[in-house]
Structure 1
Amino acid sequence: MTTRRPGLPADDAPVWEKLKRLPVSPGVYFYKNQQGKIIYIGKAKVLRNRVRSYFVGTPDRPKTAMLVARIWDLETIVTRSDVDALLTEANLIKEHRPKYNVDLRDDRSFPYIRITKEDFPQVFVTRDIIKDGSIYYGPYTNVKSLRASLAVIRNIFTIRSCKYTITDDAIAKNKIQLCLDYHIKRCDGPCQGLIQKADYREMIDRVESFLKGDTGPVESWLEQHMQESSQSLAFEDAARFRDQLTAVRTYAAKQRLKTSDFYDRDVIALARQENLAAGMLLRIRSGKLIGKEHFFFKNTDDQENGALVGQLMTNLYTDTIYIPKEILVPCEVEDQDIVEKWLAVQAGYKVSLHLPKIGEKRDLQQLAERNAELMLAELIAQQKLKVEFIPKMVRALQDDLQLPAAPRRIDGFDISHLGGTETVASMVCFMDAKPAKKEYRKFQIKTVEGIDDFASMREVIHRRYSRVKAEALSEPDLILIDGGKGQLSAAKGVLDQLGLSHIPILGLAKRLEEVFLPGNSDALNLPKTSPSVILLRRIRDEAHRFAITFQRKRRGKRMVMSALDTIEGIGPKRRLALIQHFQSVTRIKNATVEEIEAIPGISHAQAERIKNALA
C-alpha cells in the first residue's frame, strides 16, 4: 500500500482515480471539496502536467497547501486551444468565485458605456453585458467621471435619449411622437424619420471616436458646420455649433498629460501589501491621458505579480470593444504568449505587451505605479477605519449583556409551521447591526413531527453549528433565539454538546419582549426602548419574516401539487412540468387545452382531463 505524505486528499477521494486519466490537452480544471463545492478553478496548456503538479512534492505556499488538503474531487473541460482555456477560466471564475482563487473585488458591477445595435443606436451607461451585437466601452471604476463624460457627449451630439425601438414600420405608421428633446434641439427626431440612418450612423461614429479619446474629427466637423451655418446666415445653428466646439476643446484641455508619439496605449501597474493588491489602468489615446481606472484584489498572498496582471487583463478586455495595439505592463505576464494571442483575437489585430525600462514609456509606468500605491493606501485606511468602527447599538448590546467582545456578528433563529406541518427554520445574520443577506440560511425540519418547537430548535442549531465546526466557518459573536426559556435551553444544550459553549446566546420572548440568558430564570431588566432591545427586536423580526416567507412558499407549492394529485394519469413528473411552466394552478386553469398540451409529456387527452378537473 502506498503511503502518501501528510496534507494530501484522503485515499478514498475520487480525485486519485481521475488523476490517472487526465488528457494531454489544453483546458480548465475544477477542484471540489467533499461537499461538492468548487474551491479552485485553473487553466493549463497541458491538463495532465498541470493538475498532477499539485500532488507532487511539498507546496511552497501555505495557501496552496490548504487548497490541496481540501481537494476531494476533480473535473476538467478540454478546450480547442490554450487561448480558449484562458477565456473559459476567466468566465468560470466570475461565475463561481471559488474560495482559493484570487478575488477581483466587484468586477461584475463595473459600468460600461453601451452603444446599442439598432438603426438609430442609443448611448447610455450600463452594468449588464448583453451579447446582442452592442458595442461596449469600459469598464470604468470612476462613475462620477464617467457620467461627466456622458454629459459632455449629450451636450455635443444630438443622440436620442428615448428607449423606443425605432423601425421603418414604426416611422411609417407614426407610432412614436416627437418629444421635448427634439424641440430644444437635443435630438434630431429619428422616431419621425427626420434624420437619415446614414447621417445618424455618421454621428455615432464620431461618438465612438470621442470615446476613444480622438477629439480631432469631432472638432473638425463642428468647426466646418459652424462656418457653413454662419455663411448661410443660420446664426442660431452657428452659435450652437460654437458652444459644442467649446465644450469639446474644454474637455480635451483637461487631459493634461501628453506623450510625444501621439499613440494609443494602455498602461497597467500593480501595488501590493500583504494579501491585498491594487491594479491601475491609465488610458492613453492619441498621446493624451483620457482616464484612469482602479481595481482591487484580495486573497493574493500566494500569487505572483504576473498572474495578477494576467487576471486583471482578462477581466478588462473580455467585453470591451477597443483594445490599443500596445499595453505597458509592470512585469512579465504569466502565460504572456497566450494572453497576447487572446488579445489579438479580441481586437482583430496584433496587440503587444511591453515592459518599459527607460524613457517616456517608463515615466508613464511609474506614474501608473504611484497611482496604484495611492489607491492601495486609501483602501487599507478605509479597511482599518471599518474594523475600528463599531456601531453604537452593538456597543450598547455588549455593555448590557456584559459580553467580552462586541457582538459584531449576530445569528438569529426562528421556527415556523402551520399546525405542526411544513415546519421550517430560518437563520438570519446581522453584521455591525445591518443584515448580511448572503449569510441567511433556510432549513426544512426533518426529524420532528407535529408541534415541537424545542426539538425543531435543537435540530436546526445542531445542523448549523456542526457544519460551522466541520468547515471552519466564521462563528457568531452572539446567537439570538426567537423564544423564551424553553427554546433557549434547547439551543444551549446543543452548543454544549458541540463544544461551542463559549458562544454567547440569548432568547427574546415575543409577548413581553423579554431577554433571557442561559441559567437565569428571570428576564434581564432592559428598557423596551433601549438600543440593545431595538436591535434584538429587529433581528428577531427579520428571522420571523424570513421563516414565514419560506414556510408560505412551501405551503403554496404543496397546495398546488394537491390540486393536481387527484387528476388521473398525472404523476409527479407531469405535475412538476406543469408547475414549472405555468407557476400556479390559476394559470393552469386559465390556460387553453392547446397550451397545456404543448407541455412535453402531456397528451391531448390528458390536457382535456386537466382542464375539466380544474374547471
Structure 2
Amino acid sequence: MDKFDPKPVLNQIPHQPGVYRYFNDRDEIIYVGKAKDLRNRVSSYFVNSNQHSRKTRQLVFQIRRIEFTIVYTEWEALLLENQLIKNYQPRFNILLRDDKTYPYICITRERFPRIISTRKVDRSTGEYFGPFASVRTMHSLFDMFRALYNIRSCQLVLSPENVEAGKFKVCLEYHINNCKGPCEGLVSEAEYLAEVEQIRQILKGNLAPAENYLKQKMADAAARMEFEEAHRWKIRYDLLGDYQNKTTVTNAKIGDVDVLTVVSDEESAYFNFMKVANGHIIATEAMEVRKKMDESDAELLAMVLVEMQQRYGDEAREVLSNLMPEGELNKPVSVPKIGDKRKVVELSLKNVLFYRREKAEQRAAETTATTSRKDRVLIKLKADLQLKSLPRHIECFDNSNIQGTNPVASMVCFKNARPSKKDYRHFMIKTVEGPNDFASMHEIVTRRYTRILNENEPLPDLIIVDGGKGQLSAACDALKALGIYGKVPIVGIAKRLEEIYFPEDSVPVYIDKRSESLKLIQQIRDEAHRFAITFHRDRRSKTSLVSELEGVEGIGKLTATKLLKHFKSVKALREHSLEEIAEVVGKDKAGKLKAHFERTLL
C-alpha cells in the first residue's frame, strides 16, 4: 500500500471553518471531522505522529484521499458533521443512535383534532411533541389527558358538511363520557379547541392555562349551584396539581432550558438530557456513546447536544451543563455553580451517574451469566488489543541462548486461556550462527507457520513474541514472506516495562498492571520462557556429556551420542558391563571405554 502524501492537499485547504472527510484505498469515507480552522486541524494529523494515540495513527495509516467543505460558522460545521456521520457511518466516528424508534405525541391538523401517538413524523399532518425516550411517561400523559378532557379517538372526517348532513352517530365513547360528540355537533368547535389548547400547553410544559381553565370551570359550576359538576372539575384540577407536583423540579422563572451532563470512562461517555419548560421536565433521555478516537468529553458534548436538539427541538434559550462543550454553538452554554440552575444540573448528574452504574451492573450480570472467567479474560484481552475476534488460540515464541551456545527456541500454545501442552514445540536453531535473536525469531516463525500451512492446520487467533520492536519486526517479516501477514494479529511484549508493541507502531501500549488481560499475556510469556530455558539447559547438559566421552581415544561424536541415547547418562554407562557396552559399539570401543573409566577412578 503506497503511503499517502498530504502536502498537495494541505496547501489547498483554507484557514476557515468547515468539515473534512478522509477516504481509504477503497474510496470509502472512514472519518468525518469538523474544525474552526480546516488547515490547522487536518495538518495536525500528519505532524508529530509519535504523539498521536494508536487509534489516530491507525486512521492516518489508512488515509488515501481528503475532501473538505467550507461553511460560515462552527455551528454549521457541527450540523454538517452530524448529518454526514449519519449518512455514511464512518468506522472511525462515533455513531449516535437514531431517533426513529422513539414515539411522539401528535395533535392532528384537522377539524376537531385528535391526540395520537406515532413513531412516524410528518410535520404536514400535525404538531409533534417528543420524542419520548420513556414510553411509560408518554402513556402516563395520555392517561391524564383522558381523565381531564373529552377528546375524540375516532378517525371520522368531521367536516361541517358531513356533520350537518347527519352522516355520523355518537359511539360508546360518548355514552361513557369520554367524548363530547362532535360527530353530531353536540359540542362547539371553539369549546373543543379550548381543551386541545390546554393539552398543547401542558405538552409544552406550561400548566398555568390548564389550571386557570379548570379552576374557572369549577367556579362557574359552583356559581350555578351545580355542585356535582363542580366536584368533577375539582377532581380534574387536583389531578393536574398532582401532575405538577411530580414534574416541577425548580423555579418556573428558570424558563425554557436544555440540560445536558456527561461523565465518562476510558471506553464510553454517558449523557443525560433533560428538556425543561417553565420548571417542568417535559423530556428526558440517557444514552451511552462508545468512544472511537479517544474523543474528549467537551467534543462529545457538542456532538450529542446537536443530536438532542434535532430530536427534541431547539426552542430553549440556554443550555446548562457540567462542562463547557468544544466550539461555538447556536445557544449560550453555561456551567452554573449555585442557585436553581445548579440544582437542575445536579439532578441531571445524579441521573447520568445512576445510568452509568446501571450499565456497568448490566454488563457485569450479562458477563457473569453467559461467560466463564476465562472468557471474561479473553473478552478483556480482545478489547485491550482491539482484536476482531476472541483470542481463544494463542501462540507465543521465545529464544534462549547463553553467549551464543546451543541456541534454541520454544513455542507454547494456550487455548481458551489455558496451556495446551500437547501443542508446545521446541526448535533447534539451524540457520543462524552466534547470538542473533532477530534472525532466530525469523527462522522459528517461518518454520512453525510453513508447517501449519502445509498441513492445512488452523492459524492461531493471536501471536505473541517475547521481545520488543526488533523481535516483533523479525516475526512480521517471516509472516509477510509466507503471505499471512495481516491474517493473524501479532504483538510483542518487552520485559522491562511490560510494554505491548504493535506492528509498524513505534510507540508501545501500556495495559493496566492490574488488568487480567496483561496477567494472561505475562503468564503465556513466562511459560514460553520457562519452556525455552528448560530445553536449553537439557541441550547444554547433553552437549557437555558428549564432550566428556569424546575425550576417550577412539570415541567420536557420533559414538558418544549413540551411547548417551542408549544409556541415558555417563553414570549409567559406567555401571554397565563390558559385554553390555560392546553390544552397542563393539568390543574394541567398549574396552577403551572401560579402561578410561578405570583410570579416572584412580
1:177 shift after superposition: 5.1
Over 3 Å counting, the alpha-carbon distance change for 1:353 and 1:145 in structure 2 is same
Count of aligned pairs? 398
1:56 paired to 2:47: yes
Q: Where in structure 2 are the equivalents of 1:170-569 lying within 5 Å?
A: 171=163, 178-232=170-224, 237-255=229-247, 257-259=249-251, 261=253, 263-289=255-281, 292-299=284-291, 302-321=294-313, 323-335=315-327, 337-340=328-331, 352-390=332-370, 473-474=388-389, 500-502=458-460
Q: Is the 8 A contact 1:160 1:187 kept in 2?
A: yes
Q: Is the 8 A contact 1:105 1:298 kept in 2?
A: no
Equivalent residue for 2:62, pick from 44, 64, 70: 70
SS at match of 1:208: helix
Q: Is the 8 A contact 2:99 2:311 kept in 1?
A: no
SS at match of 2:91: coil
1:194 shift after superposition: 4.4
Task: Give the equivalent residue in structure 2 for 1:587.
Answer: none
Residue type of the alignment partner of 1:362: R
1:215 shift after superposition: 1.7
Q: Is the 8 A contact 2:250 2:340 kept in 1?
A: no
1:248 shift after superposition: 0.5
Equivalent residue for 1:149, pick from 141, 161, 166: 141
Residue type of the alignment partner of 1:31: Y
Over 3 Å counting, the alpha-carbon distance change for 1:91 and 1:378 in structure 2 is same
Q: Is the 8 A contact 1:210 1:218 kept in 2?
A: yes
Residue type of the alignment partner of 1:188: K
Q: Distance in 2 between matches of 1:200 and 1:63?
A: 60
Task: Spell out, residue by residue over 1:206-241, the C-alpha distance to the aligned partner (whole angstroms, 9 max, x if none).
Answer: 212212332222111011112223434555543432
Over 3 Å counting, the alpha-carbon distance change for 1:269 and 1:405 in structure 2 is closer
Q: Distance in 1 between matches of 2:454 and 2:352?
A: 49
1:31 paired to 2:42: no
Over 3 Å counting, the alpha-carbon distance change for 1:197 and 1:27 in structure 2 is farther
SS at match of 1:124: strand
> What is the CA RMSD across the aligned residues, in angstroms?
4.0
Q: Is the 8 A contact 2:248 2:279 kept in 1?
A: no
1:100 shift after superposition: 1.8
Q: Is the 8 A contact 1:277 1:300 kept in 2?
A: no
Q: Distance in 1 between matches of 2:97 and 2:211?
A: 38
Q: Is the 8 A contact 1:129 1:319 kept in 2?
A: no
SS at match of 1:389: helix
SS at match of 1:125: strand
1:98 paired to 2:90: yes
Task: Spell out, residue by residue over 1:254-280, the C-alpha distance to the aligned partner (whole angstroms, 9 max, x if none).
Answer: 236433845333332111122112111
Q: Distance in 2 between matches of 1:269 and 1:278?
A: 8
Over 3 Å counting, the alpha-carbon distance change for 1:296 and 1:79 in structure 2 is same
Equivalent residue for 1:115, pick from 99, 102, 107: 107
SS at match of 2:121: coil
Q: Is the 8 A contact 2:174 2:181 kept in 1?
A: yes
1:376 shift after superposition: 0.4
Q: Distance in 1 between matches of 2:192 and 2:11?
A: 60
Relative to structure 2, which stretch is displaced further, 265-274 or 321-330? 321-330
Over 3 Å counting, the alpha-carbon distance change for 1:322 and 1:284 in structure 2 is same
Q: Is the 8 A contact 1:104 1:295 kept in 2?
A: no
Q: Distance in 2 between matches of 1:339 and 1:497?
A: 64
SS at match of 1:253: helix
1:21 shift after superposition: 4.1
1:198 shift after superposition: 4.3
Q: Distance in 1 between matches of 2:19 and 2:97?
A: 22
Task: Spell out, residue by residue over 1:27-60, the C-alpha distance to the aligned partner (whole angstroms, 9 max, x if none).
Answer: 4333233333332222234444433332233253
1:167 shift after superposition: 4.5
Q: Distance in 2 between matches of 1:114 and 1:497?
A: 66
Q: Percent identity?
A: 29
Q: Distance in 2 between matches of 1:57 and 1:153?
A: 61
Q: Distance in 2 between matches of 1:119 and 1:80?
A: 43
Q: Distance in 1 between matches of 2:320 and 2:37?
A: 28
Q: Distance in 2 between matches of 1:146 and 1:184?
A: 24
Q: Is the 8 A contact 2:215 2:237 kept in 1?
A: yes
Residue type of the alignment partner of 1:206: Q
SS at match of 1:121: coil
Q: Is the 8 A contact 1:275 1:301 kept in 2?
A: no
SS at match of 2:329: helix
- TM-score after normalising by structure 2: 0.57
Q: Distance in 2 between matches of 1:129 and 1:496?
A: 60
Q: Distance in 2 between matches of 1:272 and 1:312?
A: 14
Task: Spell out, residue by residue over 1:368-389, the C-alpha distance to the aligned partner (whole angstroms, 9 max, x if none).
Answer: 2222111101111111222232
Task: Give the equivalent residue in structure 1 for 2:3.
Answer: 11
Residue type of the alignment partner of 1:339: N
Residue type of the alignment partner of 1:97: Q
**Runs of 5+ in structure 2 lacking a partner?**
380-385, 394-451, 462-602
Higher gyration radius (CA): 2
Task: Give the equivalent residue in structure 1 for 2:79.
Answer: 87
Q: Is the 8 A contact 1:279 1:295 kept in 2?
A: yes
Task: Give the equivalent residue in structure 2 for 1:135.
Answer: 127
SS at match of 1:114: strand
1:170 shift after superposition: 5.2
Q: Distance in 1 between matches of 2:66 and 2:171?
A: 58
Q: Is the 8 A contact 2:252 2:278 kept in 1?
A: no
Q: Distance in 2 between matches of 1:118 and 1:17?
A: 59
Q: Distance in 2 between matches of 1:113 and 1:184?
A: 24
Task: Spell out, residue by residue over 1:2-45, the C-alpha distance to the aligned partner (whole angstroms, 9 max, x if none).
Answer: xxxxxxx84368x7765554466544333233333332222234
Q: Distance in 2 between matches of 1:90 and 1:18?
A: 24
1:473 shift after superposition: 4.3
Q: Distance in 2 between matches of 1:139 and 1:495?
A: 56
Task: Spell out, residue by residue over 1:71-129, the C-alpha distance to the aligned partner (whole angstroms, 9 max, x if none).
Answer: 23334444465433322222332343332222334644333333334344333333333
Task: Give the equivalent residue in structure 1 for 2:449.
Answer: none
Relative to structure 2, which stretch is displaced further, 147-156 or 252-261? 252-261
Q: Is the 8 A contact 1:107 1:315 kept in 2?
A: no
Task: Spell out, residue by residue over 1:526-552, the C-alpha distance to the aligned partner (whole angstroms, 9 max, x if none).
Answer: xxxxxxxxxxxxxxxxxxxxxxxxxxx
1:44 paired to 2:35: yes
SS at match of 2:319: strand
Q: Is the 8 A contact 1:274 1:301 kept in 2?
A: no
Q: Distance in 2 between matches of 1:242 and 1:496?
A: 87
- TM-score after normalising by structure 1: 0.56
1:185 shift after superposition: 2.5
Task: Spell out, residue by residue over 1:265-324, the C-alpha distance to the aligned partner (whole angstroms, 9 max, x if none).
Answer: 333211112211211134443335566431221126612222122122111111434633
Q: Is the 8 A contact 1:30 1:42 kept in 2?
A: yes
